[in-house]
Amino acid sequence: MDSQIEKLHQQLVDQDISCKSLVQEKLDVLKPNTHNTVNTLLDKMALDLAEKVDAKIASGEPIGLLEGIPFGVKDVYMVQGTKTTASSNLLKHYTSAYTATAIQKLLDAGAIPIVKENCDSFGHGSSSENTIFGAVKNAINPNLVAGGSSGGSAVNVAKDYTVFSIGGDTGGSIRQPAGYNSVYGLKPTYGRISRYGLMAYASSTDCVGPIARSLEDIRIVLNTMSGKDPKDQTTYASVPISKESLSHIKTIKAVGYFKNFIENKAIDPKIKSDFLMTIEKIKANGFEVKPLDFFESETLVSTYYTLAMAETASNLSRLDGTNYGSRVEAENLKETYSVTRSQNFSEETKRRIVGGNQVLSQGFSDEIYLKALAIRDQISENFENDFSSVDIIISPVTPNTPPQIGSSLKDPLAMYLSDAFTVGFSLGQLPTLTVPQGTATGLQITAAKDKDGLVLTFANFLKDMM
């Protein structure tokens, strides 16, 4: 599919449509909330911004490519003056006091936020069922989960309710719902986009990224949001990815894939055979394809969750109802903290906070937390070695197709293991893109750090090849 952004931009410039009518049309389809994707509609803000764009066009002023383009925002990003709930009871009345850097950059480019989107509470989940706003329904089959945690964002894009949406990816939260709903979803290199104003889950793997129906829209939005930000000192200055570079497929010679992902007993046979067929097609196009060794799924998932839980226990310790949030008064300060958190966190969030405090506590940190950090280092080294012999690694996004709504939260371990193919790339902080081709839940394309452009180039080739 061609760029929706470019198409709408041209229609606005040619005055075939007004910005106000475009925004209103999107608000109208979001309002019935058919798939539980909407936490808050930003109707007044969006229509005010749209009027300004129309006035600019009417006065003959040029507009930028993103100017007047409606987009969605996962409800974990601060947008000043809007409700930012993290789909949680604790923050259901919380209003953002400031705007996240990534969202501000889109606002500065003239894009218009129209909706705060449903997700797993604080990013804790892989199905977008862990939310006070109702389970998000899959865009293709509403009886199935949307994936998570950025489920509302992926569904809105897939249903054309938003032109693009901004998700957040800690262990697969953009890539997995993108795969479940057949759209593109990019987790950029860690640090390429500022995390300032993103509600922290696990700070060492949290990434901001775009979800869209075309590769070109991913590129446009990625370039707009990228860059060093003094408010997030893990960011770095990156070079924008040019449209032309996406055709330079000759820069890619060798492609790798992880043997053990495909030999995994848990993988759906159809996903496996479709993936292997894609490998054959890539070979037939003249690429060298190398099977690679990697860590077992259980090790990847356990390492990721150990570190993510430790980080979330720390990050969410500030949520005690003192300065903001739904405080439940009790007999003294400690009791107030405890009752507030007990009553307002979901079972899944509590499970992760408790797990995090377990591994950080004296006696356990050496045996579990520090060991998990050591394994993470090994995973990073493994990737470094792999990228000395291949340019790209491809893998399935998920071992299985999306489950029925209602089944994931009953079996947390199964939910954690369903992230087996996404978490490794998060631990490696690598750029990884889900493309809606190759298997029923898409393919992941990964490259070395800061090679986000190479990922898009290979995706562009795959789009034409498939």
Return the number of the residue (146 or 353) whose C-beta is nearest another protein. Answer: 353
Return the number of the residue (251 or 361) whose C-beta is nearest another protein. Answer: 361
**Out of 11, 326, 400, 437, which residue is the one contacting another protein (CB under 8 A)?**
326
Task: Give the number of other CB atoms < 10 A from CB of residue 262.
Answer: 17
173 is catalytic: yes
CB 20 to another protein: min, Å = 25
The answer to whether the beta carbons of residues 47 and 91 sit under 8 Å apart is: no
Return the number of the residue (61 or 347) whose C-beta is nearest another protein. Answer: 347
Considering only residues 91 to 130 of the shown chain, the ones binding another protein according to CB under 8 A are 93-98
**Out of 11, 33, 357, 407, which residue is the one contacting another protein (CB under 8 A)?**
357
Where is 187: in which H helix or E strand? strand 184-187
CB 89 to another protein: min, Å = 13
What residues does 41 pair with on adjacent strands?
Answer: 115
- Amino acid letter, 361: S
**Out of 11, 314, 380, 400, which residue is the one contacting another protein (CB under 8 A)?**
380
**Out of 353, 405, 433, 447, which residue is the one contacting another protein (CB under 8 A)?**
353
Considering only residues 257 to 316 of the shown chain, the ones binding another protein according to CB under 8 A are 298-299, 301-303, 305-306, 309, 313
Distance CA 122, CA 201 (A): 6
**Out of 32, 323, 388, 464, which residue is the one contacting another protein (CB under 8 A)?**
323
74 is catalytic: yes
Return the number of the residue (325 or 436) whose C-beta is nearest another protein. Answer: 325
| For residue 194, cis peptide bond before it (omega within 30 degrees of 0) | no
Distance CA 356, CA 170 (A): 16
Phi, psi of 97 (to 5 degrees): -90, -20
Considering only residues 410 to 429 of the shown chain, the ones binding another protein according to CB under 8 A are 411-413, 416, 429
Residue whose pair of structure tokens reads 């604790």 in the numeric block: 90
Phi, psi of 41 (to 5 degrees): -90, 135
Active-site choice (173, 194, 297, 408): 173
Binding letters toward another protein, positions 68-87, x by CB under 8 A: ------------xx------
Considering only residues 216 to 245 of the shown chain, the ones binding another protein according to CB under 8 A are 230-231, 233-234
CB 116 to another protein: min, Å = 15
Tell me whether residue 333 is exposed, middle or buried, using C-beta atoms within 10 angstroms of its C-beta: 0 to 12, 13 to 18, 19 or more. exposed
Binding letters toward another protein, positions 178-197, x by CB under 8 A: ------------xx------
- Nearest to residue 402, comparing CAs of 169, 161, 143? 143
Phi, psi of 110 (to 5 degrees): 95, 0
Binding letters toward another protein, positions 131-150, x by CB under 8 A: --------------------
Return the number of the residue (216 or 348) whose C-beta is nearest another protein. Answer: 348
- Nearest to residue 60, comparing CAs of 11, 23, 15? 15
Distance CA 460, CA 458 (A): 5
DSSP track, 113-159: EEEEEP-SGGG--SSS-SSTT-PPBPSS-TTBB--SSSHHHHHHHHT
Applying CB under 8 A, which part among 24-32, 260-268, 408-416, 454-462 lies near another protein? 408-416
DSSP track, 252-307: --EEEEEHHHHH-TTS-HHHHHHHHHHHHHHHHTT-EEEEE----HHHHHHHHHHH
Considering only residues 436 to 465 of the shown chain, the ones binding another protein according to CB under 8 A are none
Question: What order of strands is seen across the sheet that includes strand 38-41?
Answer: 38-41, 112-117, 70-74, 164-169, 207-212, 184-187, 432-435, 443-446, 392-396, 254-258, 288-292
CB 350 to another protein: min, Å = 5
The answer to whether the beta carbons of residues 35 and 97 sit under 8 Å apart is: no
Q: Does residue number 388 form part of the binding site for another protein (CB under 8 A)?
A: no
Active-site choice (126, 149, 165, 408): 149
Applying CB under 8 A, which part among 62-70, 130-138, 253-261, 322-330 lies near another protein? 322-330
Q: Binding-site residue total for another protein (CB under 8 A)?
A: 76
**Out of 10, 361, 389, 404, which residue is the one contacting another protein (CB under 8 A)?**
361
407 is catalytic: no
CB 412 to another protein: min, Å = 4
Return the number of the residue (152 or 325) whose C-beta is nearest another protein. Answer: 325
Active-site choice (74, 116, 137, 187): 74
- Amino acid letter, 194: S
Task: Give the number of other CB atoms < 10 A from CB of residue 404.
Answer: 11
Active site amino acids: 74, 149, 173
